[in-house]
Structure 1
Amino acid sequence: MGRCESERKQIQRGQSSGMESNAEVDFTISAEDMETLKNFKKIESYGASSGFPVYGGKM
């Protein structure tokens, strides 16, 4: 059974999914940390994983 199917069955049984618990996380990114993230050097190559859209910049 795939992960999505498993999560759907958990929700049907009234069990919390991982996505639901992730949404409950409460945090704040400081202005200083946000500037660091904005100015983070772009990764030029992910090597053999570059073909995956999430790494290849195609998403």
Structure 2
Amino acid sequence: MTQPIVVGLDGSAGDEDAIRQPAFEARARRRPVRLVHALETPYRSASSRTSRTGPCSP
């Protein structure tokens, strides 16, 4: 299986430019491109009622 070229996107105005160069590279190397979109969401764990610092210990 051919390893993809992975491109991270965040929804900003520069995303189109961020895709362009890896797409050219992928085509030249005959490799697939995998686009990964990142979202910023508030972190909420199961213990969020008592702690906002992260997941609780097992």
Whether TM-score is above 0.5 comes out as no
Instruction: Considering Cα pairs closer than 8 Å and 6+ residues apart, tell me whether 1 or 2 has the greater RCO.
Output: 2
What is the TM-score with the length of structure 1 in the denominator? 0.28
Higher helix share: 1
What is the TM-score with the length of structure 2 in the denominator? 0.28
